[in-house]
Amino acid sequence: MRNKLILLPGWGLGSLPLEVLAEALRRLDEHLLVEIEPLPDLDSGDSREWLLELDERLPPYTWLGGWSLGGMLASELAALRGERCCGLLTLASNPCFVAHDEWPHGMPEATFNAFYQGCEENPAATLKRFSLLCSQGAADPRALARQLNMAAPHASAEQLLAGLQVLASFDSRDAIQRYAGPQLHLLAGGDALVPAEVAEALLTLQPDIEVGLLEEGSHAFPLERPHEVAAAIDAFLTEVRDD
């Protein structure tokens, strides 16, 4: 299983943002098995329940990675598994999505609360708005937003709200510090949801990790720039294997 990478998607948009990246990784390394696993299908916003379901469902001794919320969950699962996880990769993932006194590098709480209320009132419109936010900073944001929105799965309002509750409550700073295996965290300078300063904050949090910042790119950079991202991941995996 040590040649297997499991990628977890983000909130609301399903596997599309990771599919082209997964194929690009397979082409770069024919021995690397890349799978995209769906997030837990739960109506509960208890992050511990999400984490335990993933731990039960996913095989051990693999690489774990994810986009946005998926990266936060992968971080926690890597810390939970310790030596039973080969390494951690996160893409456009913030240890704390919602800002607070100890981590100001996130979405303001009032903004998140308004977004949550919008999802309660009109989930479809909220997903469309989210697609637009994910595409801000892209070379062609409108086309990217349409692509994201059209491929979004038809999740129930309860499932979407539960995912937002997990997103708001998560704090994976401790997990990133506790996990002793190799870590690569990739971020984008044009991301409208995860500020670029998270890159420096991650290194302050844990100096012994690899952090990469694409100077340009949206929150959906794994879909927008899959080959560049795949090359960065492949170089990191190769470096770890050589060590």
In SS3 terms, 2-45 reads as CCEEEEECCCCCCCHHHHHHHHHHHHHCCCCEEEECCCCCCCCC
Residue 180: count other Cβ atoms within 10 Å of its Cβ: 12
For the chain, what are the domain ranges? 4-242
Residue 115 CA to residue 129 CA, distance in Å, equals: 9
CB 185 within 8 A of CB 206: no
Residue positions annotated with a catalytic role: 68, 191, 219
> Mind listing the pLDDT tens digit of every residue in the chain (243 residues)?
579 999 999 999 999 999 999 999 999 999 999 999 999 989 899 999 999 999 999 999 999 999 999 999 999 999 999 999 999 999 999 999 999 999 999 999 999 999 999 999 999 999 999 999 999 999 999 999 999 998 889 889 999 999 999 999 999 999 999 999 999 999 999 999 999 999 999 999 999 999 999 988 999 999 999 999 999 999 999 999 877
4-242 falls under which CATH superfamily? Answer: Alpha/Beta hydrolase fold, catalytic domain (3.40.50.1820)
What is the model's pTM? 0.96
